[in-house]
């Protein structure tokens, strides 16, 4: 991915915080194997920027940076005390009716960036789920993680037999137009590519309190690939 204009992805900024719309396929923190990362871009814009949390490399959406140490500590305390409200949208395989469904399944880190559900060895993890829209073969799900375990939403949805589309690590299938459209013709000799070429997960909203106590609520519009996927689902209900 080419470096983008950082100012174009800023969703909110004041003297304390910088909230941006993270593109998919970009790491949050510095990565030796990839010079492109959100923290590096943020520090080019604001010298003392610190990432207040992380998003998976493939996940798009709201990402918060603190512009000075006091702001970082203030938000870190809110994350630790679970006062930050995080809202994600996911496209899940299958049709599911989630209504304020609580998922409390402990998560164990296996290493190499993979987790599993383990009631014996896992750390507590809690997510709330609501169906936003059910389609013919997929569901748009609102996910509100209370804890912040690695791959929490992905493994919790997978455990409910609702893996995220494109999330092959946890049982998700590629979102293919041939499976959505009843009449679909693929040109001979060509390979079909997924409608969205990543895990279909988007960090839609982040809510927390500024240093002065004022509530902040910032939303990130769907990026093009996620918006196209949802549009295709809507067209082929």
Q: How far is CA 86 from the centre of its chain?
A: 10
C-alpha Rg value of the chain to the nearest Å: 18
Q: What is the 3-state secondary structure (H, E, C) of the chain?
A: CCCCCHHHHEEEECCCEEEEEECCCCECCCECCECCEHHHHHHHHCCCCEECCCCCCCCEEEEEEECCHHHHHHHHHHHHCCCCEEEEEEEEECCCCCCCEEEECCEEEEECCEEEECCCCCECCEEEEEEEEECCCEEEEEEEECCCCCCHHHHHHHHCCCCECCCHHHCCCCCCHHHHCCCCCCCCCCCCCCCCCCCCEEEEEEEEECCCCCEEEEECCCCHHHHHHHHHHHHCC
Q: Work out whether strand 201-209 and strand 85-93 pair parallel, antiparallel, or are unpaired.
A: antiparallel
Compute the distance between CA of residue 205 and CA of residue 107 in angstroms, rounded to an integer.
Answer: 24
Tell me, yes or no, if 8 is annotated catalytic: no
Catalytic residue among 47, 56, 167, 210: 56
Q: How far is CA 181 from the centre of its chain?
A: 27
Where in the sequence numbering do the catalytic residues fall?
56
């Amino acid at each position: 991915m080419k470096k983008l204009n950082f100012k174009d992805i800023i969703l909110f900024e004041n003297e304390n915080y910088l909230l941006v719309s993270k593109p998919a396929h970009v790491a949050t923190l510095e990565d030796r194997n990839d010079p492109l990362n959100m923290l590096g871009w943020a520090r080019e814009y604001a010298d003392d920027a610190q990432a207040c949390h992380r998003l998976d490399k493939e996940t798009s959406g709201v990402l918060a940076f603190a512009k000075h140490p006091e702001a970082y500590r203030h938000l870190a305390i809110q994350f630790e005390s679970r006062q930050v409200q995080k809202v994600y949208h996911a496209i899940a395989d299958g049709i599911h009716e989630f209504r304020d469904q609580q998922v409390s399944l402990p998560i164990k880190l296996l290493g190499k960036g993979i987790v599993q559900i383990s009631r014996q060895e896992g750390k507590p993890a809690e997510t709330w789920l609501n169906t936003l829209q059910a389609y013919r073969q997929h569901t748009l799900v609102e996910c509100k993680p209370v804890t912040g375990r690695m791959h929490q939403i992905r493994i919790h949805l997978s455990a409910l037999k609702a893996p995220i589309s494109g999330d092959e690590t946890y049982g998700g299938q590629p979102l293919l137009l041939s499976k959505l459209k009843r009449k679909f013709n693929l040109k001979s000799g060509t390979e079909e590519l997924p409608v969205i070429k990543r895990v279909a997960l988007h960090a839609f909203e982040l809510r927390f309190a500024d240093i002065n106590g004022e509530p902040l609520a910032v939303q990130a519009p769907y990026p093009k690939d996620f918006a196209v996927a949802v549009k295709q689902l809507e067209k082929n209900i």
